[in-house]
Chain A
Amino acid sequence: MLAVSNLSAGYGSFQALFGVSLEVRAGESVAVLGPNGAGKTTLLRAISKLIDASAGEITMEGARLNEVPAHEVIGRGIAHVPENRRLFPRLTVEENLRMGAFSSRKKFPERLKFVYGLFPRMEERCGQLAGTLSGGEQQMCAIARALMSGPKLLLLDEPSAGLAPVVVQSIFALVKRICAEGFTVLIVEQNVQQVLKVVDRAYLLETGRIKSSGDAAALAASSELKRAYLGL
C-alpha cells in the first residue's frame, strides 16, 4: 500500500532521515520504533508531505506522492494523527470531527455514526470543547478525527506520549481495535513493549537510518532493540 524508498528529509540544513526505505502492505499494522531524535516524526511528516523529501520516493497504492501538495494527501487515503494530538482546543469535539471530514463532507453523517459507534465516549462529549478533554480522551478524539476522512492508511505519531500508564494501555487497546476494523496502520512509538504486542511488523529507526526490521515477536527478542534503547 505505502512504499517509501531511499527517503531523505530534514529541516533546512539539518538532515533527519538518511535513505529510509520501508513498506506497509494493505491490512497490516507496522511500527517504527526508535529513541528520541531518531527521525520518527520526521518520517511521518514527510509521508504526509508536511515537509518535502530531499531525495527518494514515496508511493501510495503505486501513485507517487512526492509532488502532491500536503492538503491533497488525505484524498489519497492517508490520515495523520500528529504528535501531541493537536486538536483544535476551542472547537467542540464534534467540530473537530467535522474538520476531519473536511475533504469528504458528503460522507460526514455516516462517518460520524461509525466513529461514535467506535468511541461512544466521544458521542457523550460531542459538545464539549476539545481543550477541556482529559489526555486520553484527547488522543481518542485525535484518532477519531483522523478516521473521519475514511482513510485506508492511518499514521499514528506516538499516541501514548504524555499519558498515564493505565491510559496508555487503553490507547493501545484502541489501536488494536482499529487494526481489527481493517484499517492499515503505521505507528511511530517509543513505548516498545506495548506497541510490539499490537503490531505485525516493526522497523527500528536510529539517527535517521533503518537499523533493523522484522516480525514483531522476533524483534522484541532481538539484541538490536536492546542496544538501541539501553546502549547494551
Chain B
Amino acid sequence: MEIFDIFLLEAVVNGILLGGLLALLSLGLNLIFGVIDVVWICYAELIMIGMYAVFMLHTQQGWPLLAAMPAGIAIVAALGAALHQFVIRPVLAAEPINQLLVTGGMLFLLQAAATLAFGIDFRNLGVRMQPILVGEMSISAPRVIAFVAALAGVGATWLLLSRTFIGTAIRAISQDRAIMPLMGVNPDRVFVITSALGGALAGLGACLLVLQYDIHPAIGLSFGPITFLICVLGGLGNLLGGLVAAFIFAQFISVGGFFFHLEWGYVIAFAFFIAVMFWRPQGILGGK
C-alpha cells in the first residue's frame, strides 16, 4: 500500500476509535436530557473530577489502576446523584434558562474547586503502552482499550434500559411522568438513579480519557462542547441519534485533520454541525 493510503486508513480507524469514546461521553448527557429534560452544562466537569479521582487514588494512594477506576466511576456516579438532589431538583419546575444557569454555575464551581484542590499543573498517569501494529498501521493501545470499554459501557446501558424494570421505568418516565405513581414508581427516585447512571457513564469516560490525556482543571472544556454538539446533532435526548452522530463527528475530526491539519478537523466538524442545524434543526434522528 502507498504510505498515503496507510495514513488515510489509520485516520479512518482512529476516527472509529474516537467515535466510540465520543458515543460513550454523549450517552450520559443525552440520557439525562431525555429523561429529566435538563442539560447538564457541567457534564464534562464531572468527567474532569473523575479523571482526578482516578489519578489521585492511583498515584497518591497507591491503588492499582483496576481498583482506582471502579472507585472513580462510583465517585462520579455519587456526584451525579448529588448534583440532581441538591442542584437540579430545586429548579425542576423552573424556566429552562434557570436550569441551564445553575448547571453552568456548577461548571465554574467544579473547575474552581479542582484548581484550588489540585492546582493548575498538568498531571499524567504515566501509563505507557506499546502501539498495536495491524498490517502496516500503528494504532495506539489506549485508544483501542477506550473504544472497547466505551462500547461495553454503551451496550451495558442499552441492556439496562431495555431489559430491567428500572430501565423500563427510566424510559417510561420521559413519556408520561405524571402517572408514574400509579405504577408504584416514585419519580424522584427514578431521577436520582438516572442521574447516578449518567454520572457513572461520565466516570467510565474519565477512566478512558485519563489513559490518553493530561489532566488539568480546564480539561472539561476540551470535551464538553463536542459532547453537547453531538447530542444536538443526533437529536437531543435521542440515544441512538447520539451514537450515530458521535461516529460521524469523529470521522470529520480524524479524516479532516488528516487531510488538512488537526485543528482543521474540528473546524470542518463544526461547520458540518452548523450546516445540519440549518437543514434539520431537530437533529439527524430527532423527531418533531
Residues of A within 8 A of B (CB): 48-50, 69-75, 79-80, 82, 86, 88-91, 95, 98-105, 145-146, 149
Q: How far is the CA of A100 from the CA of B181 in the complex (A)?
A: 11
Complex Cα gap A165–B151 (Å): 51
- On whether the beta carbons of A103 and B183 are closer than 8 Å, the reply is yes
Q: How far is the CB of A226 from chain B (nearest CB, A)?
A: 34
Taking CB atoms, residues of chain A closer than 8 Å to B100 are none
Q: Do residues A70 and B181 form an inter-chain contact, with CB atoms below 8 A?
A: yes
Q: How far is the CA of A99 from the CA of B180 in the complex (A)?
A: 9
In angstroms, Cα B165 to Cα A104, docked, is 10
Contact indicator B175/A90 (Cβ below 8 Å): yes
User: A91 with B185: in contact, given A71-B180, A98-B165, A98-B168 (CB under 8 Å)?
Assistant: no
Question: Which residues of chain B are near A89, meaning CB under 8 Å?
Answer: 175
With the chains together, A82 CA to B169 CA distance in Å? 18
Contacts of B172 in A (CB 8 A): 88, 91, 95, 99
Query: What's the Cα separation between A100 and B183 when bound, in Å?
Result: 5
* Candidate in B168, B185, B186 with the most chain A CB atoms within 10 angstroms: B168
B182 proximal to A (CB < 8 A): yes
What chain A residues lie within 8 Å of B280 (beta carbons)?
Answer: none
15 extra A-B contacts, CB within 8 A, seeds A48-B182, A49-B181, A73-B181: A50-B181, A50-B182, A70-B182, A71-B181, A71-B183, A74-B183, A80-B182, A86-B179, A88-B175, A88-B176, A91-B168, A98-B165, A101-B165, A103-B185, A146-B182
- In contact, A102 and B179 (Cβ under 8 angstroms): no
Q: Are B179 and A82 in contact (CB under 8 A)?
A: yes
Query: How far does the alpha carbon of A104 sit from the alpha carbon of B184 in the complex, in Å?
Result: 9
Instruction: Report the Cα distance A79→B172, complex, angstroms.
Output: 18
State the CA gap A91–B185 with chains docked (Å).
Answer: 16
Contact of A71 among B165, B168, B178, B184 (CB under 8 A): B184
Query: Which residues of chain B from 162 to 209 have a CB within 8 Å of any chain A CB?
Result: 165, 168-169, 171-172, 175-176, 178-187
Q: Which chain B residue has the least Cβ–Cβ distance from A155?
A: B182
Give every chain A residue within 8 A of B169 (Cβ-Cβ). 99, 102
A103 near B181: Cβ-Cβ < 8 Å:
no
Cβ of B30 to closest chain A Cβ, rounded Å: 16
**Pairs across A and B, CB under 8 Å, 25 listed:** A48-B181, A49-B181, A50-B178, A50-B181, A69-B181, A70-B181, A71-B183, A71-B186, A82-B182, A88-B171, A88-B175, A89-B175, A90-B171, A91-B168, A91-B175, A95-B168, A95-B171, A95-B172, A99-B169, A99-B185, A100-B183, A102-B184, A103-B185, A145-B183, A149-B184
Q: A91 touching B182 by the CB < 8 A rule? A: no
With a cutoff of 8 Å between Cβ atoms, the chain A residues found around residue B184 in the complex are 71-72, 74-75, 102-104, 149
Task: Judge whether B181 and A105 touch: CB under 8 Å.
Answer: no
CA distance A146 to B179 in the complex (A): 12
Which residues from chain A contact B168 at a C-beta distance below 8 Å? Answer: 91, 95, 98-99, 102
Distance in angstroms from B151 CB to nearest chain A CB is 25
